[in-house]
A = this chain, B = another copy of it.
Amino acid sequence: MKVEIVTIGNELLNGDLADTNTARLATFLRARGIAVAAAQTVPDVEGAIVGALRLAGERAQLVLVSGGMGPTEDDLTMEAAALVAGRPLVEDAGTLARLRARFEARGYPFTPNNARQARAPEGAAVLENPVGTAPCVRLEAGGATYFFFPGVPHELARLADDYLGPWLAERAGARPYRSVKLKTFGKTESQVATMLEALPRDPRLHVAYRAHFPEIQVSFHATEPDAAAADALLAAARDGAREALGDIVFTEDPAVELAEAVGQALVRAGRTLAAAESCTGGLVGKLCTDVAGSSAWYLEGAITYSNAAKSRQLGVPEALIAAHGAVSEEVARAMAEGMRERSGADYALAITGIAGPSGGTPDKPVGTIHFALAGPEGTSHVHRRLPFDRERNRVVSAWFALDMVRRRLLG
């Protein structure tokens, strides 16, 4: 089944709002094995809506429409739908009664504008919205089926569950979607692609790369309709890719972020973590504690932005900072070891560097970051010269530090 999406609203085309309903509907469909062929966004202009609906209906069998279902004069989706269907707009008595009752129950006045939300093209199914006023409307026109949803995300989500899901379940062709995803950190998109170049390719698999800064994701999507055959293809592709990519793969679970993968590895090893952060300013702690249940493995952190804090909180000798500078291997090692000793954590990270935009020197340019990891096996150190802006230098630094823990635990 070919599916297109049409989103409607001036706010989507003037920069006020980024469209999230397309992704929401796409996720809904993907879970049912259905791909979206294209999406259009048009303003609250009748002619533009008519054009988009017609084009989508010519190309697809199912058209999902969001927005323009409100009670005001600039909500024109039903007018456009009536033109596309070549049928008049009629008031749905059941919907009108429900709207009146809803307003009465809340003590709101029912204005003529509100009655607009009871209108739909003649012959359309007007489906009750239990969480809002605009109904869901299902319309057959020109050989396509249109579902019209209000643009409010939680209403759209509820109405898709209530009406689109069952409608799809009755149709043939909807099958669970099959794909696998590997998340990697440490190589660029093209390096990852090059590492996978030599793998055998099966025409029933589609490989996709996605740079989701700072990780690179590799996905394999099966176009093979037989579920067991698709699973076998995907398992073989995943195993081949894992071998080719080696330890840059930090998870095969699309829902797991790097910090959670590190936490899982720590829990498996029965180990705990603390982090002393200078230039990342708490970002490692934030990423760790984003993970529910992180108290099982992340004990504490020190955000030692000033030199005084490095000495007082971590016991880094002032003389060491004076001799080598706060951004140095020596200080990174001392921070990690001080953090480990004081916290009692099995592993302690330290990050000290110059995130930018200012603070660089010829010897230590912006982007110079020193990382240390102290653990039962000893303390390791690396430094990097990162090429990004402040924000990205900080994100990559936090990820790099967490990845040091993951790699240490891999052995």
Contact = CB atoms under 8 A, between A and B. Distances in A.
Given A26-B14, A109-B191, A283-B282, A152 B301 contact: no
B207 A74 contact: yes
A232 interface: no
Contacts of A390: 290, 292
Interface string A276-293: 010111111110111011
Interface residues of A, number: 102
A323 to B, nearest CB: 21
A312 interface: yes
Contacts of A42: 38-39
Most interface-central of A210, A279, A313 (chain B CB within 10 A): A210
A193 B285 contact: no
A371 to B, nearest CB: 17
A71 B299 contact: no
23 contacts: A12-B26, A14-B35, A14-B36, A16-B210, A17-B23, A18-B23, A22-B41, A38-B48, A70-B209, A73-B193, A109-B191, A111-B194, A113-B190, A152-B213, A280-B286, A281-B285, A282-B285, A283-B285, A289-B394, A292-B356, A292-B390, A300-B313, A312-B342
Interface of A: 10-20, 22-24, 26-30, 35-44, 48, 52, 55, 70-74, 106, 108-109, 111, 113-114, 131, 152, 154, 188-191, 193-194, 207-213, 219, 275, 277, 279-286, 288-290, 292-295, 298-306, 308-309, 312-313, 342-344, 356-358, 387, 389-392, 394
